[in-house]
Amino acid sequence: MSHPVPQGFRLAGVHCGIKSNAAKEDLTLIVTDKDSVAAGVYTQNLVVAASVTQNRAKTPCENFRVVVVNSGNANACTGERGAKDCREMTRLAAAAVGGSEGQALVMSTGIIGHFLPMEKVTNGIAAAAAKLGTNAEAFDSAVRGITTTDKFLKTASRSVEIGGQKIQITAMAKGAGMIGPNMATMLCVVMTDAALSASLAQELLTHAAELSFNCISVEGHTSTSDTALLLASGATGAAPTSDTDRAAFQQTLDEVCIELAKLIPTDGEGSTHLITLDVTGCATRADAHQIAKTVANSPLVKTAITGNDPNWGRIVSAAGYAGVAFDPNKVTLTINDMLIYESGMPTVYDAKRVSESMRDNHEVRLVLAFGEGAASVRFWASDLTVEYVNFNSDYST
């Protein structure tokens, strides 16, 4: 589904030969008409792609012009040659839109440890630059160009009024496997025509990522390439300067990022369920997040959800080894709004009814409540299936 392209942006996606399937785009350009603001949040893995190293050094900034994205090759663990190829991508992309190398950002996703086919990349950048547009086909081709194992396109948009003027926020993301915060194995580009300073853009994106991309998991594996960018063209001239406008913009940005984040575990490789986990009643948000991440990443919890098994013991025990202190006698669990476990003990419940509820709904809702405080977090994860194992056992061969 296409979304409005914010003012001041042009984009395109092309097939240049990185992917073997000629019907699939594998290179995308996203361009601003003039110097713009860019902010970024990145993987917390110590092993990172060349694109992450380069982008970290450049963001936040106020002179951004273009981001070039390739899919099918992560350009990670490729040493000095990989770094050189990444720099060449920025030079080529910047030159194609009349900018300088320092105004270009790169995102790469795909298989790790392979060198980029730079002749194909060079041709792809030129081809994409010649196709830049703002219509539905330009947007959709750009989204397709950032995908790898995704089964569907992940897009979202909202508008918000700032100072009496309509501001557009439109975003795209990719990701289906190797997903585990911080962040997830994913790419995301959020475009807006609001006028933001670099420092404000960074604050806004960091806040949104904490509520969204840092609260998802497929299998808990943090990738080398994770990147989320917030790009602000400033084309409307409207800036969220008041507290009210800033809060409205932040809420809208949060909503866009959360919508995209949920689509990633929904599309988790081989998944049959989206797990929505609310952890409440913790002393701090960090405690709630740690418990949620531990439960969501448990293979025993995931496989129980796959089998529509309301196995409360796996969920409660996973919380117990999260490394967070709590009183086990104050723990309560519901599955799809049905009380399973209360005050440290299982309740009398209809296991068949709960199982059928899990079976009949793609989303399985878990609420794990503690008695330690008022902090909470919402976390999303996929279940774990035989199809996931089969897919990832021969991914590179």
Which residue, 200, 235, 266, sits at the end of a domain?
266
pLDDT on residue 396: 52
The Cα angle at residue 121 between residues 7 and 143, in degrees rounded to 5: 40
What's 4's DSSP letter?
Answer: P
pLDDT on residue 1: 58
- Enumerate residue ranges in the chain where pLDDT < 70: 1, 176-185, 218-225, 268-270, 390-397
pLDDT on residue 330: 97
Residue type (1 letter), 180: G
Residues 140 and 279 in one domain: no
Residues 283 and 381 in one domain: yes
Q: Which of 66, 141, 154, 147 is nearest to 110 (CA)?
A: 147
Residues 200 and 330 in one domain: no
Within-domain flag for 3? no
Within-domain flag for 298? yes
CATH number of 314's domain: 3.10.20.340
Residues 122 and 251 in one domain: yes
Which residue, 266, 290, 322, sits at the end of a domain?
266
pLDDT on residue 50: 81
pLDDT on residue 183: 38
218 Rama class: left (phi>0) / alpha (psi -120 to 50) / beta: alpha
Count structural domains, the chain: 2
How far is CA 173 from each of CA 22, 58, 88, 246, rounded to the nearest angstrom?
22, 21, 24, 24
pLDDT on residue 397: 46
CATH number of 255's domain: 3.60.70.12
pTM given for the model: 0.86
The Cα angle at residue 259 between residues 240 and 11, in degrees rounded to 5: 70
Three-class SS of residue 12?
Answer: strand
Within-domain flag for 385? yes
Residues 359 and 243 in one domain: no
* Number of CB atoms found within 10 A of residue 393's CB: 8
pLDDT on residue 69: 95
Residues 191 and 243 in one domain: yes
| Positions marked catalytic | 185
pLDDT on residue 394: 60
Residues 293 and 171 in one domain: no
Residues 194 and 333 in one domain: no
pLDDT on residue 74: 85
pLDDT on residue 266: 78
pLDDT on residue 176: 54
Strands 227-232 and 187-192: parallel
Q: Which of 9, 5, 7, 25 is nearest to 17 (CA)?
A: 25
Q: Are 354 and 304 in contact (CB under 8 A)?
A: no
pLDDT on residue 72: 87
Residues 143 and 106 in one domain: yes
